């Protein structure tokens, strides 16, 4: 879990993160979407983590189940055995019916050394559970990101070598960047409409990789590449890579 083998601030390689997997073509945050992202040539996969009622890290974006499964209620109020009965694929298309909600452990086992993962964490309880789990998967190449910068600061104290990514959706990005630099982060992840020449220069000056989200439009992605972003998050990694010829 301590690997930092991602694209660095020097731009040695442009990095395509598959946002929730190849989520334009398969149900987000499922192993089907992750396998497809790998097949499409994504460099790494971004996914979201919540904790079940019994403390198990699950891969799902929302706090609640309704949007992406046939379940109801909060993930945090639902036991693992009940989460595992849910269908996380039919909402997207009939051919994905029966696709389960993945355990984070299953995704780590699948990825191994082969596929880098960006784990977006939502709260401190999630952070503690994920950190415990990662100790069982030292071979995995993991970057942990969050909008909760205090959570990331806590993780830095507990795991000094863990690569961290600071998410930012505020126009007060300079404050977030200072926090990232102080925590020894690997990367800074601003929303794509915040990225301009000033932000790009500041992130480079701080020595951090700049990954922006979420980009599916090739002309906008090309413009940001000219500003010096190190990589991006996209729902369509295969198509966007072909369009950008990267």
- The pTM assigned to this predicted structure is 0.95
Contacts of 227 (CB under 8 A, 6+ apart): 195, 196, 197, 200
Which residues have a catalytic role annotated? 19, 61
pLDDT digits 0-9 by tens, 120-156: 999 999 999 999 999 999 999 999 999 999 999 999 9
Q: How far is it, in rounded angstroms, from Cα 100 to Cα 75?
A: 14
- Going by C-alpha positions, the residue among 114, 117, 108 that lies closest to residue 44 is 117
Q: Which residue has the tokens 């929302």?
A: 62
Judged against a pLDDT cut of 50, whether residue 95 lies above it is answered with yes
Class of domain 15-244: alpha beta
Q: What is the mean pLDDT of residues 226-231?
A: 97
Residue 198's CB is within 10 A of a number of other CB atoms, namely: 11
- Pairing, β 117-121 against β 44-51: parallel
Instruction: For the chain, give every domain's residue range.
Output: 15-244
Residue 10's CB is within 10 A of a number of other CB atoms, namely: 10
């Amino acid at each position: 879990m301590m690997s930092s083998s991602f694209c660095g601030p020097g731009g040695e390689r442009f990095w395509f993160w598959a946002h929730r997997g190849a989520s334009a073509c398969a149900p987000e945050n499922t192993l089907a979407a992750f396998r497809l992202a790998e097949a499409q040539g994504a460099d790494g996969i971004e996914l979201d983590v919540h904790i079940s009622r019994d403390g198990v890290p699950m891969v799902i974006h929302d706090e609640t189940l309704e949007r992406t499964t046939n379940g109801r209620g909060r993930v945090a109020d639902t036991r693992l055995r009940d989460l595992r009965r849910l269908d996380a694929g039919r909402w997207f298309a009939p051919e994905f019916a029966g696709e389960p909600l993945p355990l984070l452990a299953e995704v780590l086992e699948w990825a191994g050394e082969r596929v880098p993962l960006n784990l977006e964490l939502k709260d401190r309880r999630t952070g503690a559970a994920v950190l415990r789990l990662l100790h069982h998967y030292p071979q995995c190449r993991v970057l942990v990101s969050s909008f909760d910068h205090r959570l990331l600061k806590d993780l830095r104290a507990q795991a000094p070598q863990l690569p961290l990514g600071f998410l930012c959706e505020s126009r007060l990005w300079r404050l977030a960047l200072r926090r990232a630099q102080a925590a020894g982060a690997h990367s800074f992840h601003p929303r794509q409409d915040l990225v301009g020449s000033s932000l790009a220069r500041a992130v480079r000056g701080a020595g951090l990789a700049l990954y922006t989200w979420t980009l599916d439009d090739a002309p906008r992605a090309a413009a940001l590449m000219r500003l010096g972003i190190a990589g991006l998050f996209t729902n369509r990694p295969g198509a966007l890579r072909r369009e950008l010829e990267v």
